[in-house]
C-alpha cells in the first residue's frame, strides 16, 4: 500500500517500523491514515505480510517518535524502529520471533483455563449439573477474556475506536466481551450461559493469530534467508597486519582476506588470487564461477578454493544483498491493480459487519417466531443448531457469530502473501520483480523484444573458426596468430589469444610487434614474420590469398569477423571471431514460443549479421540497424500492433529509454547492480532463460492472487449471511475465520512448488 506527498529534499528521512498487530488491509489503512495526519509526511508504504511500515518524512517538521505515537493512536503497538534498510530487515526477523513467542505465551495462558472450562461443561450439560458451575466458569474465563489472553485485543480495539476507526480487533472484542457480561446475568436470572463462548472465542482467536504468524514466517522464509546469509565478520589488512572486524565496520577500500570456504564479507574486487565462487545466492546457479584479479565479487558468496585478497567497493545499504532485500520489500509492499476494488470494499468492511450483527440481533428479537423455521430446518443437518433455544439466546448467538466469522484478514492477506512467496522465490533464482503491477502486466505479455548484444549473444567476441591453407595446419596457424595478437590490446585480438589458450595451444612471445592502422598487426614468431589482418594488409604486402577467398566470404556472410594469416609471405589461413550466441538462448526463445509469446530482436548491427543470429536462435522478427534512440520508436511501433503487452529485455544501461517505454522493462545480466531504475524486472544473471522464469513466476503469482481473492470473498459473502440466519455457532465461526486466513496463506505457499525453469515447456498450474 502506497500513499505519497511531498517532502523537502534537504531534510528527507526514511523510517521503517515493525507493527506486529497489523494483520489486514483495513489495519494497514488505519495505520497509514493516522500517520498521514502528521505534517511533513511523504510516502507511506505498508506490508501486512511482513508487518512493515516504511515512512518518508521531513525531519525538520516531524520525527520518529511522533510517527510511533501516530501508529499507537491507531490502535497498534510498534515493536521496533530502524532507519537503515538492512538493519530493518534483520530487525523484522527478530520482531517476528518475539511476536511469535508472545503469541505462543498468550495462547497457552488462554488455552489452559479454556480447556478446563470445556472439561467442566460437558458433564454439566449432559450428565449431572455441577454446583457453583457458573462461578467456576466465570473465574476461569476472566483471565482469558480480560487479562493477558485477550487484553491486547481489547486495548487495540479501544485505541481504534477512540481514533474513530474500527479494526479487526473491534469485531473480536464485541464477540467476546458482551457474551461474558451477558453470561453474568445468570447469577440473577435463569438463562443460557455465554461465558464459555467468550473464553472459547478468545482462545481460538489467539490460536489463529499464532498459526497465522507461523504461516507468515514460512511465506517470508526466502527473504529472511537472504538477510541471514551475509558474513558477520571480516578479516582485513590494517597497518600490515590481519585484523578481524565486524562487517558493519568495513570501509570502502579495505582489503579483505577471504580464505577457502569463507564468505565474501561485502561486495568488492579481487586484488590478488584466483578461485571459484559459489554465487547461487545471487544468480540461482549452483555451478561455481571462476574469478581472478580484477573480477567483481558479491558479498555473501562463498569462496570454494584459493585464498583471495578483495578490495571492498560497496558497504552497508549499497551492497548487492541490501539492494535485493529492498527490491523484494518494495514488491511485497506493492499492490496489483486487480486488488483496488477489494481495497475499497475492505475499508468499509468492519463497520458493515457491525451493522449486520446489530441488524441480526434486532431481527431475531423482533421476528423470532417468523424466523424460527430456519432453525428447525438447519437442525436437520447442523449439529450445533438448537431450535429449542429462546429468543434472546438465538439473537445473541447470531449477532456474535456474525462478528467472529467475518474475516477481513483473509482479504487483506490475499495479495501480500502471494507477493511475498513469489518475490522470495524469484530472489532465490536471481529474478527480482519490482512491483505487483509489473507482475500483472508481465503475465499478459504478447511480444518480447530482445536486444542482441549481451542478451541473445555473449556480448564479447570469441574465436569460432580456424582454417589452414595448403601446406599449413590449424595449430600452426592459430599459434602464430595468437602470438602476434598477444601484443595487441584490441578485443578481437584478445579473443584469438583466449581461444588458443582454451585449445591448449602455447602462445610464445612476439618480437618486432607492429600495429598497422586499419589493416592489422604483424610481428616475428619463432623468427618467422607473421601478419594478421584484412585483405588490404595482405594485398599491400603482395601476398596472394585467392585460395582462401571463398571461405573468407562465407565467414562474412555468417556475420563473423574473419582475419587472414600470412607467414613468411605466404597465405597460411584464416581465423574467425564472432559475438557468439549464449548457450541457453535458443532453448529460452523456444520456451517463450511455447508460452504463446512472439519474440523480436532489435540491434544496431547490419541486416546480414542480425539475420544470421536470428536464424540461429529462432527469433520471429528482426529490426536491424536501429540506433539506441531508435529502439524507443521500435517499441512504440510494436505497442501500436500488440497494445500494452510489450516487454523489452536489455542491459538496463544502454537500453534504459527502451526499457522505460516498454510495458515491462527487463534488465538482464545486472550482476551486483540490481537496483536499475529503468527496469520493472531485474535478472541478476545474463541467462536468457531467466526471462522465461520471470514470466512463469508472474503467471503463477497472479494466479494465486486471483484464487486467494476469490476464495476470501466467497467465504465472507457466504459465511456472514449464514451466521446472521442463526445457522452458525460462534465457536464454529471463529474456527472458520481462522481457517480462512490459513487457507489463503497455505495456497500462497503452494507457489514454492511452481516449476519455473525454461526446460519445462509444459505449463504448470501450481
Whether residue 418 sits in one domain with residue 505? no
d(CA 535, CA 13): 63
In a domain? residue 481? yes
Residues 207 and 93 in one domain: yes
Q: Which helix H or strand E contains 274, and what residues bound it? A: none
Q: Residue 208 contacts by C-beta under 8 Å, 6 or more apart in sequence? A: 734, 737, 738, 741, 742
Report CA-CA distances (Å) from 649 to 374, 482, 599, 616, 670: 61, 35, 11, 19, 12
CA angle 312, 314, 318 (to 5 degrees): 160
Q: Which residues contact 428 (CB under 8 A, 6 or more apart)?
A: 222, 225, 284
CATH code at position 595 = 3.40.50.1000
d(CA 682, CA 678): 10
Beta-carbon count within 10 A of 455 CB: 26
CA angle 692, 694, 699 (to 5 degrees): 95
**Residue 136 grid cell:** 467456576
Order of strands, sheet of 80-82, starting from the edge strand that comes earlier in the sequence: 2-3, 41-47, 52-58, 12-18, 80-82
What is the rounded CA–CA span in Å between residue 567 and residue 572? 6
Q: Which three cell numbers stand for residue 754?
A: 511452481
Are 599 and 549 found together in one domain? no
* Structure-block grid coordinates of residue 420: 511475498
* Helix residue spans in 486-584 (DSSP H): 491-502, 535-540, 549-557
E strand residue ranges, 32-139: 41-47, 52-58, 80-82
Residue 76 counted as domain residue: no
Q: What's the 3-state SS for 162-197? A: HCCCCCHHHHHHHHHHHHHHHHHHHHCCCCCCCHHH
* DSSP secondary structure letters along 621-666: EEE-S--TTHHHHHHHHHHHHH-S-EEEEE-SSTTHHHHHHSSEEE
Residue 367: phi and psi, rounded to 5, are -115, 40
| 180 and 111 in a common domain | yes
Nearest to 267 by CA among 280, 283, 250, 284: 250
Residues 621 and 660 in one domain: yes
Find the angle CA(136)-CA(141)-CA(147) to the nearest 5 degrees: 135
* Residue at a domain's end among 289, 320, 351: 320
pLDDT score recorded for residue 161: 78
pLDDT of residue 284: 67
Alpha carbon of 262 to those of 235, 277, 285, 525: distances in Å?
Answer: 10, 10, 19, 44
Catalytic residues, by residue number, are 451
Q: Is 326 inside any structural domain?
A: no
605-611, long-range: CB < 8 A, 24+ apart: 605/452, 605/453, 605/559, 608/557, 608/559, 609/559, 610/452, 610/559, 611/559
Total domain count for the chain?
A: 6
Sheet holding 289-291, edge to edge: 289-291, 275-278, 302-303
Return the half-sphere exposure (C-beta side, CA atoms, 13 A cut-off) of residue 306: 13
Q: Residues 582, 454: contact at Cβ < 8 Å?
A: no
C-beta of residue 53 within 8 angstroms of C-beta of residue 17: yes
Is 408 a domain residue? Answer: yes
**In b/e form, how buried is each residue of 49-77, taking b as 16+ CB within 10 angstroms?**
bbbbbbbbbbbeebbbeebbebbbbbbbb
Rounded CA separation 662/680 (Å): 10
Instruction: Confirm whether 328 is domain-assigned.
Output: no
Residues 123 and 170 occupy one common structural domain: yes
Q: What is the DSSP string of 351-397?
A: HHHHHHHHHHHHHHHHSHHHHHHHHHHHTTT-TT--TTS-HHHHHHH
Q: 697 near 756, Cβ under 8 Å?
A: yes
Q: What is the CATH number of the domain that holds 32?
A: 3.30.70.100
759: enclosing H helix or E strand = none
The CA distance from 356 to 513, in Å, is 91
Based on the domain organization, do 695 and 568 belong to the same domain?
no
Q: Which domain holds residue 272?
A: 233-320
H/E run at residue 214: helix 195-219
Residue 239 CB burial class (10 angstroms; 0-12, 13-18, ≥19): exposed
Distance CA 234, CA 245 (A): 5
Name residues of the chain where pLDDT drops below 70: 1-11, 23-26, 49, 80-96, 125-126, 163, 165, 167, 190-192, 215-227, 284-286, 332-334, 339-347, 407-408, 652-654, 670-676, 756-766
Examine the domain organization and report whether 384 and 311 are in the same domain: no
Same domain, 361 and 404: yes
Between the alpha carbon of residue 190 and those of residues 124, 161, 393, the distances in Å are 15, 34, 12
Query: Do 683 and 695 fall within a single domain?
Result: no
**Widest pairwise Cα distance in the chain:** 122
Q: How many CB atoms lie within 10 A of CB 356?
A: 18
- 3-class SS letters over 112-156: HHHHHHHHHHHHHHHCCCCCCHHHHHHHHHHHHHHCCCCHHHHHH
**Which residue, 548, 581, 614, sits at the end of a domain?**
581
403 part of a folded domain: yes
Q: Are residues 626 and 566 in the same domain?
A: no
Domain annotation covers residue 17: no
d(CA 353, CA 406): 7
Cα gap 55→41, rounded to integer Å: 7
CATH assignment at residue 466: 3.40.1110.10
DSSP letter string, 309-328: EEEE---GGGSHHHHHHHHH
Contacts of 193 (CB under 8 A, 6+ apart): 134, 137, 183, 186
DSSP code, position 263: B
Q: Please state, in angstroms and rounded to a whole number, the distance separating the CA atoms of residues 578 and 596.
A: 31
Q: What is d(CA 54, CA 56) in angstroms, rounded to the nearest whole number?
A: 7
What is the CATH number for 306?
Answer: 2.70.150.10
**pTM to 2 decimals?**
0.74
422 and 453 inside one domain: no
Q: For residue range 289-337, what is the model confidence (pLDDT) as tens digits?
A: 888 899 899 888 899 888 999 999 998 878 888 888 777 777 766 677 7
Residue 255, helix vs strand vs coil? strand
Question: Which cell numbers in the block locate residue 152?
Answer: 491486547
Q: The cell 582489503 sits on which residue?
A: 255
Beta-bridge partner residues of 432: 682
Dihedral sign (CA 377, 380, 382, 386): positive
Which of 320, 348, 379 is where one domain is finished? Answer: 320
Q: Is residue 75 part of a domain?
A: no
* Residue 190: how many other CB atoms lie within 10 Å: 6
| Contact predicate 277/303, CB 8 Å | yes
Amino acid at each position: 500500500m502506497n500513499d505519497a506527498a511531498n517532502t523537502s529534499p534537504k531534510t528527507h528521512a526514511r523510517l521503517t517500523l515493525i507493527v506486529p498487530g497489523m494483520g489486514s488491509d483495513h489495519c494497514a489503512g488505519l495505520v497509514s491514515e493516522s500517520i498521514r495526519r502528521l505534517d511533513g509526511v511523504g510516502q507511506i508504504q505498508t506490508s501486512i505480510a511482513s508487518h512493515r511500515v516504511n515512512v518518508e518524512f521531513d525531519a525538520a517538521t516531524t520525527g520518529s517518535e511522533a510517527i510511533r505515537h501516530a501508529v499507537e493512536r491507531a490502535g497498534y503497538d510498534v515493536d521496533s524502529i530502524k532507519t537503515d534498510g538492512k538493519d530493518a530487515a534483520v530487525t523484522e526477523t527478530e520482531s517476528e520471533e518475539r511476536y511469535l513467542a508472545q503469541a505462543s505465551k498468550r495462547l497457552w495462558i488462554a488455552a489452559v483455563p479454556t480447556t478446563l472450562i470445556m472439561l467442566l461443561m460437558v458433564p454439566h450439560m449432559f450428565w449431572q449439573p455441577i454446583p457453583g458451575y457458573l462461578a467456576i466458569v466465570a473465574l476461569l474465563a476472566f483471565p482469558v477474556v480480560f487479562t493477558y489472553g485477550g487484553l491486547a485485543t481489547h486495548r487495540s480495539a479501544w485505541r481504534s475506536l477512540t481514533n474513530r476507526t474500527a479494526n479487526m480487533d473491534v469485531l473480536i472484542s464485541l464477540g467476546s466481551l458482551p457474551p461474558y457480561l451477558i453470561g453474568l446475568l445468570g447469577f440473577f436470572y435463569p438463562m443460557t450461559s455465554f461465558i464459555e463462548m467468550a473464553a472459547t472465542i478468545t482462545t481460538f482467536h489467539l490460536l489463529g493469530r499464532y498459526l497465522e504468524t507461523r504461516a507468515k514466517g514460512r511465506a517470508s522464509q526466502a527473504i529472511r534467508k537472504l538477510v541471514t546469509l551475509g558474513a558477520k565478520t571480516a578479516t582485513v589488512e590494517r597497518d600490515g597486519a590481519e585484523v578481524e572486524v565486524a562487517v558493519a565496520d568495513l570501509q570502502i577500500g579495505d582489503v579483505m582476506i577471504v580464505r577457502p570456504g569463507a564468505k565474501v564479507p561485502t561486495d568488492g574486487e579481487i586484488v590478488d588470487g584466483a578461485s571459484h565462487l559459489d554465487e547461487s545466492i545471487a544468480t540461482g546457479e549452483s555451478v561455481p564461477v571462476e574469478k581472478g584479479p580484477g573480477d567483481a565479487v558479491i558479498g555473501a558468496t562463498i569462496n570454494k578454493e584459493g585464498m583471495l585478497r578483495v578490495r571492498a567497493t560497496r558497504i552497508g545499504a549499497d551492497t548487492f544483498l541490501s539492494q535485493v532485500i529492498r527490491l523484494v520489500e518494495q514488491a511485497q509492499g506493492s499492490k496489483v491493480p486487480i486488488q483496488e476494488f477489494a481495497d475499497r470494499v475492505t475499508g468499509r468492511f468492519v463497520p458493515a459487519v457491525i451493522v449486520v450483527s446489530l441488524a441480526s440481533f434486532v431481527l431475531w428479537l423482533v421476528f423470532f417466531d417468523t424466523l424460527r423455521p430456519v432453525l428447525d430446518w438447519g437442525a436437520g443437518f447442523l449439529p450445533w443448531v438448537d431450535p429449542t433455544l429462546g429468543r434472546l439466546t438465538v439473537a445473541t448467538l447470531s449477532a456474535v457469530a456474525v462478528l467472529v466469522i467475518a474475516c477481513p484478514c483473509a482479504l487483506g492477506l490475499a495479495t501480500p502473501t502471494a507477493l511475498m512467496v513469489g518475490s522470495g522465490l524469484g530472489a532465490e533464482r536471481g529474478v527480482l520483480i519490482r512491483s505487483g503491477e509489473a507482475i500483472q502486466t508481465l503475465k499478459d505479455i504478447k511480444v518480447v523484444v530482445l536486444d542482441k548484444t549481451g542478451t541473445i549473444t555473449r556480448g564479447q567476441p570469441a574465436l569460432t573458426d580456424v582454417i589452414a591453407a595448403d601446406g599449413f595446419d590449424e595449430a600452426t596457424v592459430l599459434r602464430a596468430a595468437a602470438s602476434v595478437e598477444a601484443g595487441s590490446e584490441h578485443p578481437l585480438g584478445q579473443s584469438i589469444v583466449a581461444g588458443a589458450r582454451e585449445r591448449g595451444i602455447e602462445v610464445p612471445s612476439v618480437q618486432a610487434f607492429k600495429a598497422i592502422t586499419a589493416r592489422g598487426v604483424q610481428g616475428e614468431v619463432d623468427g618467422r614474420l607473421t601478419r594478421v589482418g584484412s585483405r588490404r594488409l595482405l594485398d599491400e604486402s603482395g601476398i596472394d590469398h585467392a585460395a582462401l577467398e571463398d571461405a573468407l566470404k562465407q565467414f562474412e556472410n555468417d556475420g563473423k569477423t574473419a582475419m587472414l594469416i600470412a607467414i613468411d609471405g605466404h597465405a597460411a589461413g584464416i581465423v574467425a571471431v564472432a559475438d557468439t550466441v549464449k548457450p541457453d538462448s535458443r532453448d529460452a526463445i523456444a520456451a517463450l514460443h511455447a508460452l504463446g509469446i512472439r519474440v523480436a530482436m532489435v540491434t544496431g548491427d547490419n541486416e546480414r549479421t542480425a539475420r544470421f543470429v536470428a536464424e540461429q536462435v529462432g527469433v520471429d522478427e528482426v529490426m536491424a540497424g536501429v540506433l539506441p534512440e531508435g529502439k524507443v520508436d521500435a517499441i512504440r511501433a510494436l505497442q501500436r500492433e500488440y497494445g500494452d503487452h510489450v516487454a523489452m529485455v536489455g542491459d538496463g544501461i544502454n537500453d534504459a529509454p527502451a526499457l522505460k517505454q516498454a510495458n515491462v522493462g527487463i534488465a538482464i545480466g545486472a550482476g551486483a547492480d540490481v537496483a536499475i531504475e529503468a527496469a520493472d524486472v531485474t535478472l541478476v544473471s545474463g541467462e536468457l532463460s531467466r526471462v522465461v522464469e520471470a514470466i512463469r513466476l508472474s503467471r503463477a503469482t497472479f494466479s494465486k492472487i486471483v484464487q486467494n481473492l476469490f476464495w476470501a470473498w466467497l467465504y465472507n459473502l457466504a459465511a456472514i449471511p449464514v451466521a446472521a440466519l442463526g445457522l452458525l455457532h460462534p465457536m464454529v465461526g471463529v474456527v472458520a475465520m481462522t481457517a480462512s486466513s490459513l487457507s489463503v496463506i497455505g495456497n500462497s505457499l503452494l507457489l514454492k512448488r511452481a516449476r519455473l525453469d525454461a526446460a519445462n515447456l509444459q505449463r504448470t498450474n501450481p
